[in-house]
Structure 1
């Protein structure tokens, strides 16, 4: 899709340095790697109508154009148009990044979580050290062949991305499972560019318990060593998929703020995937930030049980009231393609049904208003504008709070 054609499928912000590069275009598809028909990165679903008037629309665009906008958690990769082909696609080791989509998003930086638990290059079950390194190396090779996206190593790189019309890519892992019992692997990952890592995903690992476990034993002795090493080296710690006690132990152990990069409030929607008040308060007490989650069928609410941006913002308003607005941001956890279908295919790997188990809800094919990384921040900022938030508060929750915490961690 050309940039001119793409304009009708995305809101336009200030011009970026994107020059049309597409992932792995330095190779010959079908010869150097197996080619798959990919989903549309723009125009896969209709744009969500936020109902903004001309003044609100102008203010929304200005706030995004003038300020640093950061997603605390996303997967800006393009998946196969036929999501049933996803395992074969992953086995090529070459997930394509939507540079075009990112260039239309208004984002300054995105915490990019790569394949993560779907890193099944050689194994069906993910989280293997070799597969994660394979994925990381391939992504870095692709990033090295273009000039629009830059890998973020520190806060100065985020500011430079803003100044240069680029997007910053913060390389992340949702769980420390691949380090096994080797604390020095944290250093290796840091050396390869990883700047944020989770404690555990759905299943327990050597560090602590995940959301899938019926009993949460908390942070292990090795987990405490790992937290100390991440503090020492300057790697941000995430507990989004960790069990409640493991979260609390991590906050207590860490000498630096801890992130909940993508979750919501259990008081709003009663599932293990959402966090109880005790965890949310402890995160804020330690100086941390939560990114509000929007992946399909996660952050619903009783007021809006059909998942949409309105459901997500119910979690936002609750967390702001409980934690203080200085501790809240957004980690939409979106991608380009059929996210609902992806969850179904990887349900066993990711523990989706266990983590999402709770009240009944109406399934949706996608989350209207927060379906992909391109549309997220126009709609988030537009919602905040429409609901009377000040410029100061909007700047804080869409980037400022994250920057403040990263300066302490990195």
Structure 2
């Protein structure tokens, strides 16, 4: 983890408002030091210096995070979410080394008006409030183009890209994609575990593939310049999307089912088809996802087992990272929203030892420091590290974004 970026001035979310008057204040989780620092990397002095240099100097992009800060008491979580004012973790981001982050804040837990989530009005409200906060500071910038990411790299800022894990909220109105694009959304999933009008989610018993409406939506996303994510889609729907899209697609946060046999992981076929058409898989680290037989207690080592598996399967040019972390108790979030997030179905038929957090990849502030440290320890070259922590993602964005 780095020292705070020089550009960061100490701004905290909604500083321009008065807590207790303009909005309800909660006690939030620590962004730094909530859990012990990872002790599993033993690097020599030269390795440490090299890892820190790469984190400071290279374009580092997370394909999938939730950079909000969550309440310290997760029993207050629903009350916190219902007021529609989730705070961005500026302090943590200032120490992350990230150049750009795809923030998927508005997913199935966006329950401002409904516990079921995914309501169009709620998503727009959440997006607008988050953008209002971003506009009141100068360290994290709203990013909509490749040039925005390049500007962030040149000026010591973090480029924040709004993303959505599914297109469920468009219902049967393809034109809503244009509205969401106008609000700044530059990456979007098809379905989040549960099937919707576009296609099937990964928890369903049967996968009917991409619907005709789904085909229209994919075509519109291509025309608009919205990168498509198939992380939570069913197997057939994934391949249909890859085939129907005229540009490469992302698997922003997943791992390999060949290593860990749950629906949440992707089949070799899906990963290969994604890569054959120029796409990239981001290796994730949300609790109890990328577990491996070699490292059954979910940790950095488990995550990197999936990384190595995917590199061996499709080559280094098609693998990146979407750790899927947040500031706060991620396991507590899963416990509170297990039905919304379809965790039971996604992890059916496997047994694992529940962990309180993913050691080494617990939050956005530490994730890439430890990932790059692991890559240095395992003798990846600077060019190889440069590719997997940002270069591969930039290559796809240059083709997909308009």
The TM-score range, normalised by the shorter chain, is over 0.9
Q: Does 1:344 align with 2:350?
A: no
* Structure 2 residue 175 is matched with structure 1 residue 184: yes
Give yes or no for the alignment of 1:19 onto 2:19. Answer: no
- Out of 159, 170, 174, the residue aligned to residue 161 of structure 2 is 170
User: Aligned partners of 2:32, 2:64: CA distance in 1, in Å?
Assistant: 20
Cα deviation code 1:145-173 (max 9, x no counterpart): 11101111111100100111100001000
2:385, 2:185 → 1: CA distance?
Answer: 28
Map 1:75-86; keep pairs closer than 5 Å.
75-86=66-77
Q: 1:247 aligned to 2:242?
A: no
Are 1:156 and 2:147 counterparts? yes
Q: Distance in 2 between matches of 1:130 and 1:229?
A: 21
2:45 pairs with 1:42: no
Aligned residue pairs: how many?
400
What value does the CA root-mean-square deviation take over the aligned residues?
Answer: 0.8
Give the CA deviation at 1:11. 3.3
How big is the shift at 1:359? Answer: 2.3
Q: Quick one: which of 250, 256, 273 aligns to 2:264?
A: 273
Structure 1 residue 358, shift from structure 2 partner: 3.2
- Whether contact under 8 Å (1:16, 1:166) holds in the other structure is no
CA drift of 1:16 comes to 3.3
Identify the residue that residue 6 of structure 1 maps to in structure 2: none
Mapping for residues 9-408 of structure 1, pairs under 5 Å? 10-12=1-3, 15-49=5-39, 50-408=41-399
Do the aligned partners of 1:72 and 1:111 also contact (CA within 8 Å) in 2?
Answer: yes
**Following superposition, which runs of at least 4 residues in structure 1 exceed 2 angstroms of deviation?**
10-13
Distance in 1, matches of 2:133 and 2:112, equals 17
In the superposition, the TM-score normalised over structure 2's length comes to: 0.98
| Whole-angstrom distance in 1 between the partners of 2:160 and 2:2 | 21
TM-score normalized with structure 1 length:
0.97
- C-alpha distance in structure 2 between counterparts of 1:323 and 1:53, whole Å: 31
Contact 1:102 1:373 in 2 (8 A): yes
Structure 1 CA distance, aligned partners of 2:390 and 2:246?
23
> Alpha-carbon deviation of 1:181?
0.5
**Post-superposition shift, 1:51?**
1.3
1:96 alignment partner, SS class? coil
How many Å apart are 1:228 and its aligned residue? 0.3
Unaligned 5+ runs, structure 2? none
Deviation (angstroms), 1:187: 0.6
